[in-house]
A and B are shown apart, each in its own frame.
Chain A
Amino acid sequence: MQMPAPDQAVLARREELVRGFRAIVPGEGVIADEDGMRPYECDALSAYRQLPMVVVLPETVQQIAEILKLCQRLGAKVVPRGGGTSLSGGSLPLADGVLLAMGKFNRVLEIDYANRCARVQPGVTNLAISKAVEHEGFYYAPDPSSQIACSIGGNVAENSGGVHCLKYGLTTNNLLGIEMVLMSGEIVKLGGKHLDSDGYDLLGVLTGSEGLLGVITEVTVRLLKKPPVARAMLLGFDTEEAAGECVAAIIANGIIPAGLEMMDRDAVHAAEAFCHAGYPLNVAALLIAELDGPQAEVDHLIAALERLARDRGASVVRVSTSEAERLAFWAGRKAAFPAVGRLSPDYFCMDGTIPRGRLPEVLTRIRELSKHHGLRVVNVFHAGDGNLHPLILFDANQPDELHRAEELGADILKLCVEVGGVLTGEHGVGVEKRDLMGTMFNEIDLNQQMRLKCAFDPDHLLNPGKVFPTLHRCAELGRLHVSGGRLPFPDLPRF
């Protein structure tokens, strides 16, 4: 994985930038020494590390506007960073870039229960929003597994999901508004406490834009009332096909569970050994389904799911009878990554999405690829929405294993695209999947996405080196190649 070569002209102006930032952000808000910058050298994709040129921790929107203006004037790149939990290297620093750390934007500004929304600063963690409103029985629905640490600003940038997004949607479906600062220093508000825009849906565009379009400085999220009852089920099957068919049958029967997860045999064994969740070990695939809502609905749906599962040959059907048991059912799934971490010094977590019906075929081919590259793969899967998380086990200290793991990961993601799926369901492209964008998009598609980028950031200063495999200058992208004498289409019906 190559990052763009550092711009020597910008590096030469480092002192000037640092002085400029110190004039904007008083006190300890500018970190320029190596030891102080070390904690920022990577995010949760820790295989890639890079010290930034300088770290700035602004405290006000006005400061951010001034910082970005200064960077724009001096041609310095900017990498925004929230909780630093990106799994795709979204906040990986650049050697010639300013790391804009949003940690001081950590206040909940307003909670409005009547309008069911909360206005928060971007550094507030995902879980802190739900914690702030739980005493009134409300919560914020998207729940990425990093929710203790990940920031809501980062969630917006990455359009984060979680195990409940089949029923409750991703970040993009749970936002009402944002405030952002453009590279030019302009402050733009999108949305608010009302629904939808009657101009272009730029809020929708910003969500999942991976920090390439604007720096998010405020977020208004929708709050939901907590369902009174939630129960989980374990459904074990002798074949992965049967488990896949059961998932299809559940949805075809009009049931959208709050969560619907699948683990393969290796994942079940690893999780059980790690946290003793009580998982059955003699199954080829285990489904964890969660039903939530009023008691009557949950009872009704559990009975329906039990019937559907038994009809598809489930060898194990267990329903949680207490909150403790429900949490235990989930504990294994939630611990799947650390559990796998015990099996292997390092692992990569892939994130492709596939049409659900192709699951058995994809699992078979992943196994073939695993054999081919000589590395183990363990599969956990958001079965309801087709989002696969194959975990590739490797040891970075063995010569060549990191490289082979990268290759295997690329092969798995290409397979996802080949069967009609996509490279990333919730972790983002970042640097990790950047060079694979060409398997899903052609040059015309990518150039158009880059033109959108140009409308926000014409000098490519905001988080460059992420998402796009190659950068073209905006002036070049804007050029129109009109053929001039082209004849109008002979076949087209005209009236």
Chain B
Amino acid sequence: MTILQPRDAKQVTEAVAWALDSGTPLEIVGGGSKRGLGQPTTAEHQLDLSQLRGITLYEPEELVLTANPGTPLAEVEAVLAQRRQMLAFEPPALSLIYGDGTPTLGGIIACNLAGPRRLSSGAARDHLLGFHATTGRAERIKSGGRVMKNVTGYDLSKLMAGSYGTLAVLDEITVKVLPAPEKTRTVLLLGLDEAQGVAALCKGMGQPVDVSGAAHLPADVAARSAVDYVRNAGTSVTALRLEGPGPSVEDRCRHLRLAFKAQSEELHSVNSTTLWRELREVALLPRDPALAIWKLSVPPTAAPAVVGRIRGHSPGVATFYDWSGGLVFLALPAGTDAAHAVVRGALQEEGGHATLLRAPDAVRQAVFAFHPQPPALAALTARVKDAFDPKGILNPGRMG
């Protein structure tokens, strides 16, 4: 295996040009922390972007940051924290699922990953303002810019986010950053079943209090939390997060607790941070590597029924709900096929998609990680791929 390690954008383009000329498909790697996400690529050689790193522009008062794709996520977050700012989409590192490797800004963007705050602040795709990249035609292109508001030409940033390096190799990324909240509190409701829990989340989202995280943890999942209140609840925990200026958070907390009329608890800053980190990192599902982990994006109110259908076939399911119910994580015995027909069949009716996040290698070979598309959409997707990478040299097989 050859590993090509470009040190600047020009070398990225040269590497892709060589790959194109010689018909050598490349696996595009940043810090190598998400290689287990998606389909395994069939490329034998690597284009390693880890040396293409560094923040090249950060203007806090303009809410903008530009960095190279190999910049570690932790470095970006640390620099932002110094100016009390953040990546508002709360990117997950997912190292508990995928193990070692250094999560990078490029990897997060390429996989369009977002945490609990996706609900209120959008996904990675909503914060990508612009980029430079080399397409599979070995041409360096740019799109977007560094300003907040821009409709000049097609919004290729959206296309790059979540394309898993199958269309172009990013070499420069500009993101929108936002002020970090002054204060965080989490309102907890205890003892609701899954249907009641999701209903409570939806009710909370319908209150004028700007909920920025809404999750339901069944008792077995809550019991794995490092937060005492949650671990020792002895029952399910339904959590709603409020963030913002101090007086505002206190006021909204009061309002939200009144709206529920039921017994509720309140987590303050440190415990809140811990709990939402656990949720973001999918840390509360069982760690057994023989389990398959699924991520389902569904209409929030449909989630409990979807899970119910899956549980009907696979009783040993461990699960929790984020995004007000719209995001469901499931761990179930991987078997030979991760029960993919059951999982995907369960959301047929209400719509959505199921992504196989993790499974033993043999299962990953057998089951398609991404949700199958209807024929017209699949054909359109293939034409888009062809428009950027006609010879299939960038991460072949990664998205199917």
A interface residues with partner B (beta carbon < 8 Å)? 112-116, 137-138, 158-159, 161, 165-166, 169-170, 172-173, 182, 186-190, 192-205, 207-209, 225-228, 248-249, 251-256, 293-297, 299-301, 353-357, 382, 384-387, 420-429, 433, 437, 440-441, 444-446, 448-449, 451-456, 467, 478, 480, 482-484, 486, 488-489, 491-495
Contact = CB atoms under 8 A, between A and B. Distances in A.
14 contacts: A189-B374, A195-B118, A195-B297, A197-B353, A200-B385, A208-B154, A252-B60, A254-B85, A422-B152, A424-B151, A425-B150, A437-B153, A440-B153, A454-B387
B161 to A, nearest CB: 6
Given A189-B377, A445-B142, 16 more contacts: A115-B326, A172-B126, A194-B326, A201-B163, A204-B157, A248-B62, A251-B63, A255-B179, A423-B152, A424-B152, A449-B153, A451-B387, A455-B383, A455-B386, A492-B14, A493-B7
A254 B180 contact: yes
B376 A186 contact: yes
A209 B154 CA distance: 6
Nearest to B255: A294
A114 B214 CA distance: 14
Interface in B171-199: 178-180, 182, 199
B156 A228 contact: no
B206 interface: yes
Interface of B: 2-7, 11, 14-15, 17-18, 20-22, 51, 59-64, 83-85, 112, 114, 118-119, 122-123, 125-126, 135, 137, 139-143, 145-159, 161-163, 167, 178-180, 182, 199, 202, 205-210, 244-248, 250-252, 255, 297-301, 323, 326-327, 350-353, 355, 370-371, 373-374, 376-377, 380-381, 383-388, 390-391, 399
A251 B177 CA distance: 11
Contacts of B206: 113-114, 116, 138, 225
A449 B152 contact: no
Contact of B245 (A228, A297, A494): A297
Contact of B251 (A192, A225, A248, A294): A294
A190 B371 CA distance: 13
Q: Looking at chain A's contact residues, is the secondary structure mostly helix, strand, loop, or mixed?
A: loop
A382 B61 contact: no
Given A225-B207, A449-B154, A201 B112 contact: yes
Contacts of A297: 244-245, 247-248, 251-252
Contacts of A137: 208
B150 A493 contact: no
Q: Is the interface of B mostly helix, strand, loop or mixed?
A: mixed
Nearest to A441: B153
B155 A198 contact: no
B344 to A, nearest CB: 11
Given A204-B125, A421-B147, A492-B4, A480 B390 contact: yes
A77 B21 CA distance: 38
B199 to A, nearest CB: 8
Given A297-B248, A440-B152, A354 B147 contact: yes
B149 A161 contact: yes
A188 B376 CA distance: 7
A169 B209 CA distance: 18
A-B residue pairs, 6 tightest by C-beta:
A204-B158, A297-B248, A254-B179, A296-B251, A193-B299, A489-B14
Given A252-B61, A448-B141, A296 B247 contact: yes
Nearest to B297: A194
Contacts of A138: 206
B150 A207 contact: no
A193 B351 CA distance: 8
Nearest to A249: B61
Contacts of A194: 297-299, 326, 351-353
Contacts of B162: 196-201
Given A207-B158, A296-B247, A452-B154, A420 B399 contact: no
Contacts of B15: 489, 492
Contacts of A296: 247-248, 250-252
Contacts of A187: 376
Contacts of A454: 383, 387
Contacts of A205: 154-156, 158-159
Contact of A386 (B51, B85, B148, B386): B148
Contact of B150 (A195, A225, A353, A467): A353
A482 B20 contact: yes
From B148, B248, B399, residue with most partner A Cβ within 10 Å: B148
B277 to A, nearest CB: 20
Contacts of A451: 387-388
Nearest to A184: B376
Contacts of B85: 254
Contact of B142 (A208, A425, A441): A441
B348 to A, nearest CB: 12
A495 B51 CA distance: 13
Given A194-B299, A294-B255, A494-B5, A425 B149 contact: yes
Contact of B179 (A256, A355, A467, A492): A256
A165 B122 CA distance: 13
Contacts of B205: 116, 225
Nearest to A192: B351
A2 to B, nearest CB: 20
A46 to B, nearest CB: 21
Chain B CB count within 10 A is highest, among A195, A226, A483, for A195
B154 A202 contact: no
B210 A488 contact: no
A202 B125 contact: no
A428 B4 CA distance: 40
Contacts of A433: 152
